[in-house]
Amino acid sequence: MRFWRWPRNVVYSLLRPRRTIWPTRDGWWSLLVVIGLGVAAINTGNNLLYLLDSLLFGIIVMSGILSEMVMRGLWVQSVEPEEIYAGQPAPFGAVVLNQKRWLTSYSVTVETLGPEARPRVLYVPRIGPGGERIVTWEETLPVRGRHRLAGIRITTRFPFGLFVKAGRPQLRSEVVVFPAVHAISRELLRQLGAMGHAPARRRGGGSDLYNLRGYRSGDDPRLIHWRSSAKTESLTVRELEAETTEDTRLILLGTGTPGSPALEAALSEAASIATHLIRAGAGVELVGPGFFVRLGRGRPHLVRVLTALAVYDPAVPVRESTGSDERDAASFVPLRQVRVRLG
């Protein structure tokens, strides 16, 4: 069994080597000179030509050995942004770690690959033993949805620039790109403006009084209620009510046409409305064809809503609703409704 497994591993390593090496322009000239000097030395028997050919061949061999020492023990970890919006630049990064205990890696480059991102070459001059370097760049992904990142590979031309040695592509991870979020129109803002007059009955940073309580260390002195403090002979602080917003059910109507500008514009509008409401303190529930996001508030909930909008695909068949569906149960909860037509 082991006898048959060994040749298979050898063939696999030959077809998919751990690292690839390719001559540069100077490397091709060096190889041609080595071949020319070797032919001349054999034909003439001149010892000086043999010495020159051996010297140049030794330089090529040492170049391969030293570049392998540079590449060995290097490890890459990606640094991805938490939120990526379509059409907006997003910062990406990679941490290059030298796991060798004694040897330093010189002249390392980090290359981004693949169709999703424009190829970039980022140079790292030196990484000491056990050290790490971080490289960053910006990418703009124009379309919402799931995107597979380009991948990253490490290359080096150390020490003489005769060959490019490259490792296997790594970090082919997947990210979710949210729909484009923009400032909502004044007309829509006026329609949503009434939400500020609804009582939220929770603490916040508004202007209405929510409660009176005793002073605690760290409270803003400007919130001290002096009249109540004088009556109780102890410092009393005003708690303010949040500048509240009505909890809203965002309803997406229709299914839309896959890849159409109308669909993308509608999803962008829904994402912008949800972002505006949640950042203003409102709760948002999302109801649409094929998905349902329960009422919630705060940044984690905003990420859930934007993710649902990002991965929506009208080409996927929608499951028929049943009476036990969460969506049907949610329809009995009285919420203000905002409708967006997908097309």
Residue with tokens 């009955």: 201
Q: Under DSSP, is residue 233 helix (H, G, I), strand (E, B) or coil?
A: coil
Out of 117-126, 139-148, 163-172, 209-218, give the one with best mean pLDDT. 139-148
Half-sphere exposure of 309 (CA within 13 A, CB side): 36
Mean pLDDT of the chain: 79
Out of 15-24, 92-101, 189-198, give the one with best mean pLDDT. 92-101
pLDDT at 171: 67
Query: Does the pLDDT value for residue 13 go beyond 60?
Result: no
Q: Please give the structure tokens belonging to residue 19.
A: 């690292």
Query: Does the pLDDT value for residue 324 go beyond 60?
Result: no
Q: What is the pTM for the complete model shown?
A: 0.69
Secondary structure string (H, E, C) spanning 256-317: CCCCCHHHHHHHHHHHHHHHHHHHCCCCEEEEECCEEEEEECCHHHHHHHHHHHHCCCCCCC
Q: pLDDT tens-digit profile of 289-304? A: 877 888 888 889 999 9
For residues 320 and 264, the model is more confident at 264
Percent of the chain with pLDDT over 90: 18
Out of 138-142, 175-179, 276-280, give the one with best mean pLDDT. 175-179
Average pLDDT over residues 262-280: 89
Nearest residue to 74 (alpha-carbon basis) of 132, 31, 120, 32? 132
Query: Does the pLDDT value for residue 245 go beyond 80?
Result: no
pLDDT at 325: 45
pLDDT at 14: 47
Q: pLDDT tens-digit profile of 115-143? A: 555 678 888 999 999 999 988 888 888 88
For residues 265 and 235, the model is more confident at 265
Query: Does the pLDDT value for residue 341 go beyond 80?
Result: yes
Average pLDDT over residues 36-53: 89
CATH no. for 13-176 = 2.60.40.10
What are the residue ranges spanned by the domains of the chain?
13-176, 200-240, 246-341
Q: Cα 297 vs. chain centroid, distance in angstroms?
A: 23
Q: Which of 27-41, 62-76, 213-227, 281-295 is predicted least confidently?
A: 213-227
* ∠ Cα 194 197 199 (to 5°): 130
Nearest residue to 130 (alpha-carbon basis) of 75, 89, 179, 182? 75
pLDDT at 322: 41
CA-CA distance, 277 to 104, in Å (whole number)? 52
